[in-house]
Each structure stands twice: as structure tokens, then as C-alpha cells.
Chains A and B, each alone.
Chain A
Amino acid sequence: MRIFFDPEVLAAAWPGIRSGIGVTLGLALTSIAAGVALGLLLATVRALIRGAPLRPVGGLIAAYADVFRAMPPLVLLVVLYFAAPFAGIELSGFMAAFVALGLVLGASAEEIFWAGITSVNRGQWEAALSTGLSRGEAFRRVVLPQAVRLTIPPLTNRAIATGKNTALASVVAVPEVLNQAASVQAQTASPAPLLLAAGVYVALFLPLVRIGRWLETRFHIR
């Protein structure tokens, strides 16, 4: 028991882990915000493009979504951090993790928004257009508000997954919670910091999971 909860090791590990919480939260919030915004932007573009000359744009967006949903975020992260410098792109560990997590969430979020948008009855578009609303206004005032209701439960789940995936940034030396815990563990050869980190993750993300469940019951009906 003492091995797992060695108070001296825990005391030595806590300051680093505490500062890691800030990094984890900062990385989680920025990449979730960027990913959701990217997904919404791309789905909006895909919904509003009309006419032959722009049609390939929709295909490109769908291709992006497919590729980045197929890509493991860890692989994308190490490519951005270790391979991109050879192409002259130098990213800090934090930036590489932000870009990787944002791109992967952006792909899922685009598909989630797109599914929500296409599931809104075509009659809603027609009613709005028949009153002389522009496509943009019809989308913004009529279609999107209905689509968002459908997207909230799956989007919350993807956002939580992205938050947890911030732990991947430990492999590119971002001093977030897991990285801090692992470095103390390496110095002391004690597993206690890892258990502390695990507890910290649960404490950080359990409230989000609960909020997600509440949103699901709130928005699922209708």
C-alpha cells in the first residue's frame, strides 16, 4: 500500500502536477474551442455552397473529415512534432498538441454538425426560403438552431475525448499532468505520482462527463 501512496513521493510530486493541471486545462480548452469552431465553420461552408463551380469544396471538406477521423491523434502529434521540422515547420510541444487535437476534433465535429444539418427536414429550408429569407439567414435562423440540438450529445462526448487526449502531449514534453507525474516517477521509481495523476484526471473530467449526461437528457427529446 505504501508503495502506491508514499506520502513523501506524493508531496514531492504535487507541485509539478499542480502546475500540470493548468497546462492540461489550457490545452484542453483551447483545442476543444478550436476543434468545435473549425467543425462548425466547415459544416457551415459545406451546407451553404451551391452551384457547380464550388461543389469540389464540399468534397474536400468531407475528405478532410474522413482522413483526420482515421488518423490516431498520437500519430498526428508525433508527425507534427518530430517530422514537420524537416519541412521547415517548427512547433513547440504545446502548439503541436493543440494543432493535432484541434484538427482531429475538427474532423469529428464537422461530421457531427453535418449530420445534424442534413437531418433537419428539407421542408424547413423550403419554408424559410419561400418567405424570402436568403440561404444564409435560413441556415442561421432556422436550420442551424435545430441542428445544434441534435449535435450537443455527440459533440460533448467528442470534446471530453479531446480533453482526455491532452495526456498524449506528455510524449512531446509538454509539462501537463501526466508528463509531470511521469518525470517524478522516473526520478523516484515510485508508482505513486502516476496514481495521483490518474486521480487528478478523473477529478478534472468527471464533472464534464456529468454535464454531458445532463445535456443529453435535456436536448435528446424533441
Chain B
Amino acid sequence: MSAVLELRGVGKTFAGVPALRDIHLAVGTSELVALIGPSGSGKSTLLRCCNRLAEPDAGDVVFEGEPVPAGGAELASVRRRMGMVFQAFNLYPHLNALENAALAPRRAAGLSHGEAETAAREALERVGLGDRTSAMPDGLSGGQQQRVAIARALALRPRILLLDEPTSALDPELVGSVLRVIRSLKEDGVAMLIATHEIAFAREAADRIAFLADGEILECGPPAEILDRPRTERLQSFLSRL
């Protein structure tokens, strides 16, 4: 299995405090890898190191066989093929759903206005919001906003999606609609790295689960192994508190 994304010994410190230590993790084509672990364990930082929204201090991030470039147009081109979905959605409040999803295809990928709108419309249909293209973000529910944010990433036809706790800011009754979209993307073969607190979802949808604590991956393997036969005390106590 060829890896779409691979972290090799990635480390990161914030003001002298280690946030990530020697992270080795690969996500294969069509694979869904879930990151679980307590708040502050480094899940977010790990995702942000992948597209260099956070700058790793050590190690390499390799995307499609090439190291992720440090900056400039080369980094921008990698970021386009590596979609990101944020906990707080971060939709552009002054643009409607279609414009949110069409902005990067138009202004980053250089598609024509019409092509960008088509890509955006298809992405919105894929997340079940084909009928809300002209809605402004503040006129959508949290679940719908997060689906628009997923569509914004999908409109660029990324090779992998990085999802940072995509359902943590949602009311419980809205979580299901977002998880359904993520499941359908998995069925379509989209590779994903997802930080989540939804353990039941991780068990059923993930190919592998990585358990992160204090910036280190303590365990990594298939869901049944990680969730039913935890080896480390940290993971046992994490799971027992859920």
C-alpha cells in the first residue's frame, strides 16, 4: 500500500514545551486513520503540521512521495491537494455556500469562474447541500456549516482530507449528519486523517486508530486491537473514562 501522507519523526515544541515527539504515521490511499486521545494531547498540532499551518521543528512530512515544501507556490499547491476541515468550521461569513466552495478553485487552482462554480456545486451536492448553494453561513445550522466546509475542501479534489475534530463544536443531534458525509467519502475512497472524540465512529469507520498522549503516539493499529485490547495504561484509563 502506497502512503498518500507520511510523517517521519515529526516533532514540535511550543515555547520550549514539547507538543509532538517523534511522530511516525502513514495514511494510505483510501485509508481512514483516526487520531484519538485526551484534549491537549497534540491531535490538532499533528494535523496542522501536515500542511504546515504549524511548522514542525523536527522530522519530515512526505506527501505523495515528496517532502512538503516550506513555503511559496509549491506549498500552496500541496495544500490544495490536502483538504482541511476545522473544528470551528471557519467558513467565510461574507460569502454564500457556493462562493465559499468556489473561492479556492477559482483563485488558487486557477479554474475559470464557470468551472470553479461547477466544482463547488458538485462538492455541495456530495455533502447533501445542493439546494443551499446561495445560503449565507449564518443562515445554516452548525452541521450544515461543517458540511459546507467539507465541500470547500472537496471542491479542490484533494488526495487526502485532514479533519480536526469536525463534530466537536456541534450540538449532539447534528453530529450524525456530518459523520454520515465522512462515511460516504470513505466509501468513495477518499483518504482521511481525522482527530475525533467519537470513539464509536472511529471503531466502525476507521481502518486504523492512533492513540496520542502528551504528544506521542502510544498505540496504533486496527480499531478492535486498540479499543478492545489496549496495551498501555494510558489508553486503558482513557478508554475507561469515556
Q: Which residues of A, 5-53, contact B by the 8 Å Cβ criterion?
A: none
Query: B43 in the interface, Cβ–Cβ < 8 Å?
Result: no
Instruction: Evaluate whether A132 and B80 lie within 8 angstroms (CB atoms) in the complex, with A121-B90, A126-B53, A127-B92 already known.
Output: yes
User: Which residues does A use to contact B, with CB under 8 Å?
Assistant: 121, 123-124, 126-134, 137, 141-142, 145-146, 149, 222
Q: Is the CB of A131 within 8 A of B156?
A: yes
What's the least CB distance linking B97 to chain A, in Å? Answer: 14
- Chain B's interface size range is 20 to 34
A5 to B96 alpha-carbon distance, docked (Å): 58
Q: Is the CB of B108 within 8 A of A137?
A: yes
Which residues of B sit under 8 angstroms from A132, Cβ to Cβ? 76-80, 104, 108-109, 156
A-B contact count (CB 8 A): 68
What's the least CB distance linking B163 to chain A, in Å? Answer: 12
What's the least CB distance linking B107 to chain A, in Å? Answer: 5
Partner of A137, one of B77, B83, B94, B107: B107
Q: Is the CB of A130 within 8 A of B51?
A: yes
Q: Which residues of B, 15-57, contact A by the 8 Å Cβ criterion?
A: 51, 53
Interface majority SS (helix, strand, loop, mixed), chain A:
helix
Q: Which residues of B, 117-172, contact A by the 8 Å Cβ criterion?
A: 149, 152-153, 156
Assuming A130-B153, A142-B103, what are 13 further A-B pairs, CB within 8 angstroms? A123-B90, A127-B84, A127-B90, A127-B92, A128-B104, A131-B79, A131-B156, A132-B76, A132-B78, A132-B108, A132-B109, A133-B107, A141-B107
A101 to B165 alpha-carbon distance, docked (Å): 51
Q: Is the CB of B93 within 8 A of A133?
A: no
Instruction: Evaluate whether A133 and B104 lie within 8 angstroms (CB atoms) in the complex, with A123-B90, A146-B93, A146-B94 already known.
Output: yes
Partner of B86, one of A127, A133, A146, A149: A127
Looking across the interface, which residue of chain B has its beta carbon closest to that of A127?
B90
